[in-house]
Amino acid sequence: DTGVSQDPRHKITKRGQNVTFRCDPISEHNRLYWYRQTLGQGPEFLTYFQNEAQLEKSRLLSDRFSAERPKGSFSTLEIQRTEQGDSAMYLCASSLGAGGLAGAYEQYFGPGTRLTVT
Amino acid sequence: AQSVAQPEDQVNVAEGNPLTVKCTYSVSGNPYLFWYVQYPNRGLQFLLKYITGDNLVKGSYGFEAEFNKSQTSFHLKKPSALVSDSALYFCAVSLRNNRLAFGKGNQVVVIP
């Protein structure tokens, strides 16, 4: 399977702990996105990378959140000092595209990492 | 704010009947519009998109969608629904830098 993969699929942690999620995009895709989805809602944009550069961060991404994409391949999303409000499904997506027509390319999503903060 | 709206929470349809899932958008300029489907415990799957050209776009699994600029709508349709089409459907619009803004989703229930 050459789709987007995410690890772990489920994570249960205690409030205050740090967690890190990994995303492996489709290999030829230069863009990588992180979204967060809570029950009954559509995914909300968090941040995205073009190759290794992080080009945009949502205001939803507090200082406790950090994302990296070293070497423009896989990406990690770290949440420090987790709070119960961080409980959600964290989705990663990748796509082709650059420049003005980048929005025309569909994004391919991974299965998500479900985070539960107790 | 630029966004999409999916006015119905749930759509119930009998197997074999036509299925329509509604979406309206509010963006400046020419929109790039997408439909995704989400099955339980699985990620979102791309169904189809409208970029430009023919207002009727065809996608995966027999789905199609019609772009209507005057009504700012992009409704998803399937002529004959299957039980296996029961899932959560999301409409999305591509904003600057290709970030997607999603609607809240519609649960589709196809009744055997």
As a whole number, mean pLDDT of residues A34-44 equals 93
Q: Average pLDDT for residues B57-63, to the nearest whole number?
A: 95
Give the separation between CA B105 and CA B86, rounded to whole angstroms. 13
Minimal Cβ distance to A91: which of B43, B104, B105: B43
| Nearest-CB residue to B97 (from A4, A35, A55) | A55
Q: What angle do CA A92, A94, A97 make, to 5 degrees?
A: 150
What is the pLDDT averaged over residues B89-109? 90
Q: Check CB contact under 8 Å for B97 and A102.
A: yes
pLDDT per position as a tens digit, A69-91: 998 899 999 999 999 999 999 99
Q: Which of A6, A15, A1, A116 is nearest to A64 (CA)?
A: A15
Average pLDDT, integer, range A32-48 = 94
How many CB pairs lie under 8 A apart between chains A and B? 64
Q: What is the pLDDT of residue B98?
A: 73
CA A26 to chain centre: 14
CB contacts of B96 in chain A (<8 Å) are 103
In A, minimum Cα distance to B49 occurs at A106
Contacts of A103 (CB under 8 A, 6+ apart): A97, B32, B94, B95, B96, B97, B98
DSSP state at residue A4: -
Q: Please judge whether A43 and B43 are an interchain contact, meaning their C-beta atoms are less than 8 angstroms apart.
A: no
Phi, psi values for residue A70, rounded to 5°: -65, 135
pLDDT tens-digit map of B70-82: 999 999 999 999 9
